[in-house]
Amino acid sequence: MENSFFMVKNSFISIISQEQEEKEENKGSVEFQVFSFTNKIRRLTSHLKLHKKDFASQRGLRIILGKRQRLLAYLSKKNRVRYKTLIGQLDIREPKTR
């Protein structure tokens, strides 16, 4: 299970690094930020499966989820095509609308 996560992570890093070489290392881009938040979220969820009562990590996970949700909402308003491709690459569900 853990090896597949790192294989997926490495493939996303190579995809994003190829795009970034074209853009002169744009680490502040919304795509890169969402990608790094997604990696943190996946790491924290695997940690919380082992340590169910780690409430500090649960709080950190909720904070990171909120940041990623706000970035995705911003990207969906600004550029729907980039939003759809990013969600497809990272295998993220589209948030429910109210």
CB burial readout 17-41, b (16+ within 10 A) else e: eeebeeeeeeeebbbbebbebbbbb
The answer to pTM > 0.85 is no
Give domain status of residue 50, yes or no.
yes
**CA distances from residue 34 to 5, 9, 22, 47, 83 in whole angstroms, order as listed:** 17, 13, 19, 20, 10
CB burial readout 80-95, b (16+ within 10 A) else e: eeebeebbebbeeeee
CATH code where residue 29 lies:
1.10.287.10
Domain count for the chain, please give it.
Answer: 1
Name the residue type at position 95.
P
Q: What is the pLDDT of residues 18-56, one digit of tens each?
A: 555 555 567 889 999 999 999 999 999 999 999 999 999
- Per-residue pLDDT averaged across 84-88, rounded? 93
Give domain status of residue 97, yes or no.
no
Give domain status of residue 95, yes or no.
no
